[in-house]
């Protein structure tokens, strides 16, 4: 394997020891299956206990690399679903804010912009319902059509939970400097609580970083308490090229490196597809979900074919 080219013999032995420790539970499963037809003196209780212990609470036998003789070893990683969701949120909000901010100044040159930071809160616990932020987005879009003709609506928003677990939203909206943006609560776009509007001209020197700060405050623990069906973030007003760039940054590193910066990367079954060229890149990782909900990613470890000097 090319990854081992610069490794010393001690480093290879250390990795082999780590792999043996990782595969120890699977070896026990293989032994249990091998002897499951052999009777024991105590009437099978010992065998059954060994089987239950080998399978574990999740019965995680799908990743057994020793089902057949000479099977290839596997690398197994457990995925924290909530942490993964938070990382995607933070990356998407940060990249989307940069793309929208750049597009506003490049695509519509000569326009003086203000970045508005709008906070939408609920007046009561348990008041959140699906579609609330969508109704707010439609209200803003209608205002742009009436008052800012010829100007594209650009907005990125992120959800946050208070210490009491009450959802609220932080939004960044790009408007022309000469336009008056009404308070969403008074305009009827947000009748569920309160709305606060802050202009970037007040004291915000780095508006994109200011928006990314709210995304970074969202934690995996908060993700566990998000209402079912709630979206954590949203992007409005990106051009087709902007959407392509956002998808590119959301793709894994190996797909971006293989397909290049001009690719339109889409996640498809079994890997990733470049919509520009039709190129398909198979992913070496597969996912298994146990009955208890734990998520494992695994891949076959390529054989070591090069001679170590």
Low-confidence ranges of the chain (pLDDT < 50): 1-6, 34-35, 37-68
Position 50 scores a pLDDT of: 42
* The residue to which tokens 């992913």 are assigned: 283
Cβ-based neighbour number of residue 214 at 10 Å: 21
CA 295 from chain centre, in angstroms, equals: 14
Position 141 scores a pLDDT of: 93
Position 31 scores a pLDDT of: 58
Nearest CA among 32, 91, 49, 114 for reference residue 248: 91
Q: Let me know: does 301 contact 19? Beta carbons within 8 Å.
A: yes
The secondary structure of 123-186 as a DSSP string is SSTT---TTHHHHHHHHHHHHHHHHSTT---EEEEEEEE-TT--EEEEEEEEEETTPPPPPHHH
90-102 residue pLDDT tens = 888 888 888 898 8
Contact partners, residue 68, CB within 8 Å, separation at least 6: none
E strands, the chain, where? 74-79, 113-122, 154-161, 167-176, 193-199, 233-236, 265-268, 271-274, 280-282, 286-289, 295-300
Model pTM score: 0.68
Tokens of 108: 């519509």
Task: Calculate the alpha carbon distances from 284 to 77, 164, 274 in Å.
Answer: 13, 42, 17
Q: Let me know: does 111 contact 151? Beta carbons within 8 Å.
A: yes
Position 45 scores a pLDDT of: 45
Position 11 scores a pLDDT of: 63
267 secondary structure, DSSP code: E
63 secondary structure, DSSP code: T
Position 278 scores a pLDDT of: 92
- Three-state secondary-structure class, residue 7: coil
């Amino acid at each position: 394997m090319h990854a081992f080219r610069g490794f010393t013999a001690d480093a290879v032995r250390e990795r082999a020891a780590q792999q043996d420790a990782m595969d120890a539970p699977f070896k026990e499963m293989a032994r249990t299956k091998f002897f499951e037809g052999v009777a024991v003196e105590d009437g099978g209780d010992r065998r059954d206990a060994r089987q239950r212990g080998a399978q574990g609470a999740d019965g995680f036998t799908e990743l057994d690399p020793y089902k057949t003789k000479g099977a290839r070893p596997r690398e197994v990683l457990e995925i924290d679903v909530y942490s993964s969701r938070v990382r995607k949120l933070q990356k998407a909000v940060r990249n989307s804010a940069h793309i929208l901010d750049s597009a506003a100044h490049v695509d519509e040159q000569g326009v003086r912009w203000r970045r508005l930071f709008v906070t939408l809160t609920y007046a009561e616990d348990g008041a959140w319902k699906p579609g609330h932020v969508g109704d707010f987005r439609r209200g803003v879009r209608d205002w742009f059509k009436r008052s800012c003709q010829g100007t594209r609506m650009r907005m990125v928003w992120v959800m946050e939970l208070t210490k009491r677990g009450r959802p609220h939203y932080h939004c960044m909206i790009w408007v022309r400097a000469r336009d008056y943006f009404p308070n969403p609560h008074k305009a009827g776009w947000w009748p569920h609580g309160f709305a606060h509007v802050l202009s970037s001209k007040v004291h915000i020197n780095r508006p994109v970083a200011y928006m990314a700060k709210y995304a970074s405050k969202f934690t995996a623990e908060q993700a566990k308490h998000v209402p079912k069906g709630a979206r954590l973030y949203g992007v409005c007003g990106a051009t087709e090229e902007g959407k392509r760039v956002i998808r590119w940054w959301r793709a894994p590193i190996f797909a971006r490196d293989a397909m290049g910066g001009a690719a339109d990367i889409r996640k498809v079954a079994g890997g990733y597809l470049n919509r520009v060229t039709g190129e398909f890149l198979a992913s070496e990782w597969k996912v298994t979900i146990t009955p208890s909900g734990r998520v494992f990613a695994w891949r076959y470890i390529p054989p070591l074919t090069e001679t170590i000097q």
